[in-house]
Amino acid sequence: MLEVNNITKLYGQQKALDSVSFSVKPGEIVGLLGPNGAGKSTLMKIITCFIPPSEGEVKVCGHSIFDEPQQVCSCIGYLPEHNPLYTEMYIPEFLRFVADIHKVKNSNQRVDEMIELTGLTPELGKKIGALSKGYRQRVGLAQALIHDPQVLILDEPTTGLDPNQLEEIRKVIRNAGKSKIVLLSTHIMQEVEAMCSRAVIINHGHIVADNSVEQLKAQGHDSLEQIFHKLTKD
Ligand SMILES: Nc1ncnc2c1ncn2[C@@H]1O[C@H](COP(=O)(O)OP(=O)(O)OP(=O)(O)O)[C@@H](O)[C@H]1O
Ligand SMILES: [Mg+2]
């Protein structure tokens, strides 16, 4: 279970998140939607223990971000916004490094599986710094999945992928979502329809909708885009 309870985040005078609460069960893929600056990445950084909230609490698989941050980190796979990577490393070297941090057993085999799963095989001869944007994104996804975490937090996971790879990666995420908790942010509404069972929409740090994708679309027979516009216009 991922439990977000009354999270508020202040950056100086600015309230980036204001009493945000929701929870996600295993088997749910939740799309976190909202305009630029709504607070999506901020919330993900709080859930993954990168920054503390100003108020509130998050529990990941029963572990508190305050009391047990190491346990929280070990059950989360996180693809951060801007996907920071070690550019001087080769792909297998980097993935082995991440696997070792997570103390993954049979790490060589797991690295090979991730390379296969995310379609990295053609680029194995290159350093990460020499990869195109889409291939870097695949490395980011591979590192998030390598320790088979119970929870996946993916900040705009399909940014920069070509249409062929997009379908492959969506399949990977959908499969992961059968048993895991997945929270992903995106600006692409087709992506929400293709992958998510539920959408949480935030605007100016407030939740303005939290519903199944089907129920959202049933409201007035609008498209998801129209619903998004209605809920997030100022
Ligand atoms: N380190 C920081 N210091 C000050 N303000 C910040 C900081 N990080 C984020 N903010 C502000 O908090 C607000 C929420 O930012 P956040 O990155 O969470 O938005 P987002 O929903 O992820 O947007 P996008 O869709 O553009 O990625 C923005 O107004 C942003 O400028
Ligand atoms: Mg963001």
d(CA 171, CA 141): 13
Domain 1-75+149-214, CATH among 3.20.20.70, 3.40.50.720, 3.40.50.300, 1.10.600.10: 3.40.50.300
183 band by pLDDT with thresholds 50, 70 and 90: very high
Tokens of 5: 């309870």
Determine contact, residues 1/25, Cβ cutoff 8 Å: yes
204 band by pLDDT with thresholds 50, 70 and 90: very high
Res 220: pLDDT:
67
Q: Percentages helix, strand, coil for the chain, rounded to the nearest 5?
A: 40, 25, 35
Determine contact, residues 153/44, Cβ cutoff 8 Å: yes
Q: What is the best residue among 7, 14, 42 to mutate for testing ligand 1's pocket, by most ligand atoms within 8 Å of CB?
A: 42
CA of 4 to the centre of ligand 1 (A): 18
H/E element holding 115?
helix 107-117
Determine contact, residues 73/49, Cβ cutoff 8 Å: yes
Residue 35 Cα: closest atom of ligand 1: 25
Q: Which one of the ligands is nearest to 50 CA?
A: 1
Pairing of strands 29-33, 181-185: parallel
Residues with CB under 5 Å of ion ligand 2 are 40-41, 81
* Residue-range domain boundaries for the chain: 1-75+149-214, 86-148
Q: What is the SS3 assignment for 208?
A: strand
Beta sheet of 2-11, edge-to-edge order: 14-24, 2-11, 55-60, 63-64
d(CA 86, CA 67): 29
Q: Is the pLDDT of residue 161 over 90?
A: no
Q: Is the pLDDT of residue 196 over 90?
A: yes
Determine contact, residues 30/200, Cβ cutoff 8 Å: yes
CA of 177 to the centre of ligand 2 (A): 21
Q: Which residue has the tokens 């941090």?
A: 101
- Mean pLDDT of the 66-91 span: 95
Among 32-41, 140-149, 162-171, 183-192, which stretch is predicted with the lowest mean pLDDT? 162-171
- Mean pLDDT of the 201-215 span: 94
Res 217: pLDDT:
82
User: Above pLDDT 90, what percent of the chain?
Assistant: 80
User: Above pLDDT 70, what percent of the chain?
Assistant: 99
Count other Cβ atoms within 10 Å, centred on residue 102.
16
- Mean pLDDT of the 116-125 span: 94
Res 231: pLDDT:
87
Q: Name every residue whose Cβ is closer than 8 Å to that of residue 95 and which is 6 or more positions away in sequence.
A: 111, 114, 115, 139, 142, 143, 146
Tokens of 232: 């997030």
Res 221: pLDDT:
63
Res 143: pLDDT:
97
Query: How much is the pTM?
Result: 0.95
